[in-house]
A and B are shown apart, each in its own frame.
Chain A
Amino acid sequence: MKPILTFAPAAFSPFVTLAAEPGMSSLDYPGGSWSPYVVGALIGVLSMLTFYFSNQPLGASTGYARLAGMIGRIVAPKHTQSLKYYQDNEPAVDWEVMLVAGVILGAFVAAWQGGDLSSEWLPPMWAVRFGQDSLVPRLAVALLGGVLVAFGARLAGGCTSGHGISGALQLSVGSWIALICFFLGGIAAAMLMYRT
Chain B
Amino acid sequence: MTTRPQSREDSRSLPLDKGGSEKDTSEQKKVSTKQLVLGASFGVLFGFLLQKGGVAKYHVLIGSLLLEDFTVVKVMLSAIIVGSIGIFSLHALGLVKLHIKPTRYAANISGGLLFGVGFALMGYCPGTGAAALGQGNWDALAAIVGLMVGSYIFAEVSGGLENTVMKWGDKGKVMLPELVKVSLAKFLMVWIPWLMLILFAVDRLTVR
Binding site for B on A (CB under 8 A): 4, 8-9, 12-13, 15-16, 25-34, 36-58, 60-61, 63-65, 67-69, 71-72, 80, 83-86, 90, 92-111, 114, 116-126, 138-191, 193-195
B31 within 8 A of A: yes
Expressed in whole angstroms, the Cα–Cα distance for A194 and B130 within the complex equals 24
Q: Are A152 and B20 in contact (CB under 8 A)?
A: no
A145 pairs with B83, CB closer than 8 A: no
A110 to B48, Cβ gap below 8 A? yes
A173 contacts across to B, CB distance below 8 A: 103, 171, 174-176, 178-179
* Closest B residue by C-beta to A102: B43
Known contacts A145-B143, A171-B191, A174-B104; is-contact A58 B155 (Cβ 8 Å): no
Closest CB of chain B to A155's CB: distance in Å?
3
Instruction: Say whether B65 contacts A183, CB under 8 Å.
Output: yes
> Which residue numbers of B lie inside 8 Å of A, CB to CB?
18-21, 23-24, 28-29, 31, 35-60, 62-63, 65-69, 71, 74-87, 90, 95-105, 107-123, 125-140, 142-156, 158-159, 161-162, 165-166, 171, 173-179, 184, 187, 191, 199, 205-208
Query: In the complex, what residue of chain B is closest to A166 when comparing beta carbons?
Result: B99
If A155-B161, A172-B103 touch, whether A26 touches B69 (CB-CB below 8 Å) is: yes
Q: Are B147 and A149 in contact (CB under 8 A)?
A: yes
Contact partner of B135 (CB less than 8 A), chosen from A15, A51, A118, A180, is: A118
Which residues in B have their C-beta under 8 angstroms from that of A51? 19, 87, 90, 96-97, 99
Q: How far is the CB of A64 from chain B (nearest CB, A)?
A: 4
Ordered by A's residue number, 20 sampled pairs between the chains whose C-beta atoms are within 8 Å are A12-B205, A26-B62, A32-B54, A36-B54, A40-B78, A83-B156, A84-B155, A98-B39, A104-B131, A107-B134, A109-B134, A116-B51, A120-B137, A124-B59, A150-B126, A150-B151, A153-B111, A155-B107, A155-B165, A174-B101
By beta carbon, the residue of chain B nearest A126 is: B58
User: How distant is B97 from chain A, measured CB to nearest CB, in Å?
Assistant: 6
Closest 3 CB pairs of A and B: A102-B43, A146-B146, A185-B116
Whether the Cβ atoms of B122 and A171 lie closer than 8 Å is no
Known: A146-B118, A155-B107. A123 touches B159 (CB 8 A): no
Closest Cβ of chain B to A83, distance in Å, is: 4
Residue in A29, A36, A103, A176 whose beta carbon sits within 8 Å of that of B47 in the complex:
A103
Q: Is the CB of A190 within 8 A of B56?
A: no
A174: chain B residues at CB < 8 Å are 101-105, 108, 171, 174
Residues from chain B with a CB closer than 8 A to the CB of A125 are: 58-59, 62
A99–B44 Cα gap in the complex (Å)? 7
Shortest C-beta distance, A1 to chain B (Å), equals 10
* Inter-subunit contact B38/A95 (CB<8 Å): yes
* Cross-chain contact B59 with A102 (CB below 8 angstroms): no
Do the beta carbons of A40 and B75 come within 8 Å of each other?
Answer: yes
Which residues does chain B contribute within 8 Å of A57, judged by CB atoms?
A: 99
Q: Is the CB of B49 within 8 A of A167?
A: no
The residue of chain A having its C-beta at the shortest distance from the C-beta of B191 within the complex is A171
Q: Compute how far the CA of A68 lies from the CA of B150 in the bound complex, rounded to whole angstroms.
A: 9
Q: Considering the chains assembled together, what is the distance between the CA atoms of A67 and B152 in angstroms? A: 9
Contacts of A69 in B (CB 8 A): 151-152, 155
Which residues of chain A are near B102, meaning CB under 8 Å?
157, 174
A194 and B43: CB pair below 8 A? no
Contacts of A183 in B (CB 8 A): 65, 116
Contact present for B145 and A158 (CB under 8 Å):
no
Residue among B24, B90, B137 with the highest chain A CB neighbour number at 10 A:
B137
